[in-house]
Amino acid sequence: AQSVTQPDIHITVSEGASLELRCNYSYGATPYLFWYVQSPGQGLQLLLKYFSGDTLVQGIKGFEAEFKRSQSSFNLRKPSVHWSDAAEYFCAVSGGSYIPTFGRGTSLIVHP
């Protein structure tokens, strides 16, 4: 069975600082990996996705993520955080069934 672990429930950063949100997955073959963002009171929006090929994936809003098979990780990064990045972030994995499994989310707090 596939699973996702987001070890950090909350992350606090100062505006302008760099950010890394962790995601570890469990899946027997090459996974399909996703990061979504959820602003307060909103639905989820896709930030980026990995299917195959280049392991460094660029997304919207200046985010990127790196797929590391050896570590079963797909960490999300941003070099300089803006106050508008404060939100809930979800990592998800899916395989051949195309039914994704979501992590429990990481809440990002941005201090001015």
CB 23 within 8 A of CB 6: yes
Give the one residue of 49, 72, 75, 86 binding another protein; rule: CB under 8 A: 49
Considering only the stretches 15-23, 61-69, 72-80, 91-99, report the one whose residues sit in contact with another protein under the rule CB under 8 A: 91-99
Q: Does 53 bind another protein (CB under 8 A)?
A: no
Nearer to another protein, 40 or 112 (CB): 40
Q: Does 103 bind another protein (CB under 8 A)?
A: yes
Considering only the stretches 16-24, 63-71, 76-84, 103-111, report the one whose residues sit in contact with another protein under the rule CB under 8 A: 103-111
Report d(CA 67, CA 53) in Å as an integer.
Answer: 10
10 Å CB burial of residue 32 (0-12, 13-18, 19+) is middle
Q: Does 21 bind another protein (CB under 8 A)?
A: no
CB 48 within 8 A of CB 66: no
Residue 61's SS3 state is helix
